[in-house]
Amino acid sequence: MSEGAAPDDVAALALPGVEPPAAAYRVLARKYRPQTFADLIGQEAMVRTLRNAFASGRIAQAYVLTGVRGVGKTTTARILARALNYEPLDGPAGGGGPTLDMPGLGRHCRDIIESRHVDVQEMDAASNTGIGDIREIIEAARYKPVLARYKVFIIDEVHMLSTAAFNGLLKTLEEPPEHVKFIFATTEIRKVPVTVLSRCQRFDLRRVDAGVLAAHLRGICTAEGVGVEPEALGLVARAAEGSVRDALSLLDQAIAHAGAATGGQVRGEEVRALLGLADKARVIDLFEALMRGDIAAALTLLREQYDAGADPAVVMAELAEFTHFVTRLKILPQTAEDASLIEAERLRGSGFAEALSMRVLARAWQMLTRGLTEVQQAAKPMQAAEMALVRLAYAADLPTPDDALRRLRDEAAADRGPGPSGGNGGSGGGGARAAMGSAAPRLAMASQNPAPRPAPQPPAPAVAGPRLAGLADVVALAVAHRDLKLKFAIETQARLVAFEEGRIEIALAPGGSVMLVQELQNRLTEWTGRRWLVALSSEPGEPTLGEAAQAERAAIETGVRADPLVAAVLARFPGASIVDIRAREPEDAPPALTPEEYEGLVASMAEGPGPDDDLEF
């Protein structure tokens, strides 16, 4: 007998015929925890990356694993620690190298799995948050491993470390000894400083798909010898929301609830009652009644589920989920291959996907999500749920807006045609009730007795105002109203394309602002008292008023330069230029000069003006 044996153990061994105590029950989440990377489900991308890195020897100094609860972050960290220190039992001590292929337990595997290996230390950052805890890790990292190949530090929930602890870890994390590896796990990756993330290889563990999770649960039930219905597995897989641990915990609870461990079977009804879910078949019946517009049947089905213990908010959520499922089926028919679906969902969902239009499904989704919010916030949820379903059922027999417009156009065309008008005015049929094969929408019924059209009203008399004939008149009007900014913009940016009373088409000069169109339209309407439409044209248009004035000045200057007197003056005075050209009044015009008089005048100008001379050109 060893000195460390407990008194109860001694008594049990001493008394003949006394059986040793039975081993304590281990929950499924611990019993079926993955032991190798091959056991991980839904994380193929991470496994492939690590396998390639280990095969090429490109092993990082630190890893950070992130994801939602229950996807295997801590389990992956322990498997990774085993892979780093794996040594086959039949080989020499210290032989081999890091590998992801672990056919059996190695020398250090059992101790690492049970978290008692001297060289693989796990720390819970939720309860060890300070710089003092990090100092112990930094101090331990200085020494080489005792038994294994690497010293591995696993820090769970690393985001809960204090700022000082993160800063104290940075130097060692960036340049650790060759024998040290860090593995971090967290559910809140955004709370981890970027200085830490930049020193680690990051792996995002994905949520496990419901179909994959249902198949995994089926294998566990087979290993446990538990009978379970496919519907029950689908309900558990979807309720887990991608978390393997949540799924195993729910399955464990369902097995105990159904007594399946003693010969019973886990049925869908029992799982639904356990989770507080609504009957999926009844939800589908309720959805069908709503899409038919049968308000009485819908309220009856809702009341039956409520009397059976279903929460109104859960029923609304189930309806929204089924609407989303039907929409996915309409877009991606392969969605029906999901292993977590029951037969009723596959068959009836496919029928709804073929019969209902995308607009009807989108409208139902919006109304259900809004109704779910109202139910969750209402003082009496059942009443709020009934009112939400009444709205949805009433809207189900109404066409969508585009169907209504198409029907109105068809009816107007029928009224103009030679044949008698009648019927439903077209074959659009966008409403859900029409799609489900029931009566015609109320809009088509109302169209048989159209309301009388109001008599046309005479146009209001136009307000008297200035008449405009071109952009020059618009510029003059802007000057009269002291809007010099608009005047300058018209002269330099507007190229006229067409001008008529009440309507102007312009093109913009290079660099012109499109705001000129709206500004000009508003100002003309305000100043003239009449409605004006100013449109932007793609045609080049005429030159702007500024460009036209500049071209006219250039033509006049060309003519002035051709004048013999001006040409003689510019030739006699090199560097002289024409600054301005002004037209003289006719009565002030000087008498015409002969060529001899021109030459004499130029000669006198060359000598310089006298004190009493007054020259003007």
384 and 325 co-located in one domain: yes
Predicted confidence at residue 76, as pLDDT, reads 92
Q: Which CATH number goes with the domain that contains 309? A: 1.20.272.10
Q: Are 366 and 320 in contact (CB under 8 A)?
A: no
Overall average pLDDT of the 541-551 stretch = 86
Query: What is the DSSP track for 358-369?
Result: HHHHHHHHHHHH
Strand partners, 496: 506
Taking CA atoms, 501 is separated from 241, 320, 381, 571, 573, in Å, by 68, 57, 63, 52, 53
Q: Which residues pair with 123 in a beta bridge?
A: 155
What is the model's pLDDT at position 274?
Answer: 78
Over pLDDT 70: what percentage of the chain?
78
Q: Is residue 227 part of a domain?
A: yes
Burial class of residue 336 (count of CB atoms within 10 Å of its CB; 0-12, 13-18, 19+): middle
Question: Which of 135-139, 407-411, 513-517 shows the highest mean pLDDT?
Answer: 135-139
Q: How confident is the model over 315-370, as pLDDT tens digits? A: 999 899 999 999 999 998 888 777 667 777 788 888 888 888 888 899 999 999 99
Decide if pLDDT at 468 tops 80.
Answer: yes
For residue 380, being part of any structural domain is answered with yes
| Per-chain mean pLDDT for the chain | 79
Residues sharing a CB contact under 8 Å with residue 426, sequence separation 6 or more, in sequence order: 406, 407, 409, 410, 411
DSSP string for 250-310: HHHHHHHHHTGGGT-EE-HHHHHHHHTPPPHHHHHHHHHHHHHT-HHHHHHHHHHHHHTT-
| Cα(312)–Cα(381) distance, integer angstroms | 6
pLDDT per residue as tens digits for the range 118-150: 999 999 998 988 999 999 999 999 999 988 899
> Does a structural domain hold residue 159?
yes
Nearest to 140 by CA among 149, 128, 153: 153
Whether the predicted pLDDT of 589 surpasses 70: no
In the predicted model, is pLDDT for residue 423 greater than 70? no
Nearest residue to 124 via CA among 161, 97, 149: 161
Chain position carrying tokens 């280990």: 54
Same domain for 267 and 297: no
pLDDT in tens, 142-179: 999 988 899 999 999 999 999 999 999 999 999 999 99
Q: Which residue has the higher pLDDT, 101 or 459?
A: 101
189 and 78 share a domain?
yes
| 186: in domain | yes
State the CATH number of the domain containing residue 511: 3.30.300
Same domain, 341 and 378: yes
372 within domain boundaries: yes
Both 111 and 183 in one domain: the answer is: yes
The CATH number that applies at residue 47 is 3.40.50.300
Q: Would you say residue 487 has pLDDT above 70? A: yes
The residue type found at 282 is R
Specify whether 120 is located in the same domain as 218: no
Query: Which residue, 346, 365, 396, sits at the end of a domain?
Result: 396
At 450 the pLDDT is 45
Token couple for 584: 């003289």
pLDDT at 193 over 60: yes
Amino acid 283: pLDDT? 87
One domain, residues 60 and 135: yes
At residue 228, does pLDDT exceed 60?
Answer: yes
Domain end: 274, 304, 323, which one? 274
Q: What is the predicted pLDDT for the residue at 231?
A: 82
Cα→Cα distances 546→2, 471, 493, 494, 611, Å: 111, 11, 9, 9, 41
Confidence check: pLDDT of 425 > 50:
no
Do 106 and 129 share a structural domain?
yes
Is the pLDDT reported for residue 601 higher than 60?
no
Asked if the model's pLDDT at residue 453 lies above 90, the reply is: no
Query: Do residue 156 and residue 34 come from a single domain?
Result: yes
- Contact between 443 and 428 (Cβ < 8 Å): no
Q: State mean pLDDT over 373-398.
A: 89
Residue 33 belongs to a domain: yes
Cβ pair 266, 232 in contact under 8 A: yes
| pLDDT single digits (tens) 271-320 | 877 776 656 778 888 999 999 888 899 999 999 888 877 889 989 998 99
* Structural domain containing residue 242: 210-274
The mean pLDDT value for 184-189 works out to 92
580 located within any domain: no
The answer on 257 and 288 residing in a single domain is no
Percentage of the residues of the chain whose pLDDT score is greater than 90 = 27
The enclosing domain of 226 has a CATH number of 1.10.8.60
Instruction: Specify the number of domains making up the chain.
Output: 4
Beta bridge partners of 204: 66
Least confident piece of the model among 122-126, 480-484, 507-511, 586-590: 586-590
Q: Are 192 and 220 part of one and the same domain? A: no
Q: Which residue has the higher pLDDT, 608 or 3?
A: 608
Last residue of a domain, one of 337, 361, 396: 396
d(CA 5, CA 263): 38
Q: Which residue has the higher pLDDT, 222 or 590?
A: 222
- pLDDT over 60 at 16, yes or no: no
If asked whether residues 54 and 196 sit together in one domain, one would say yes
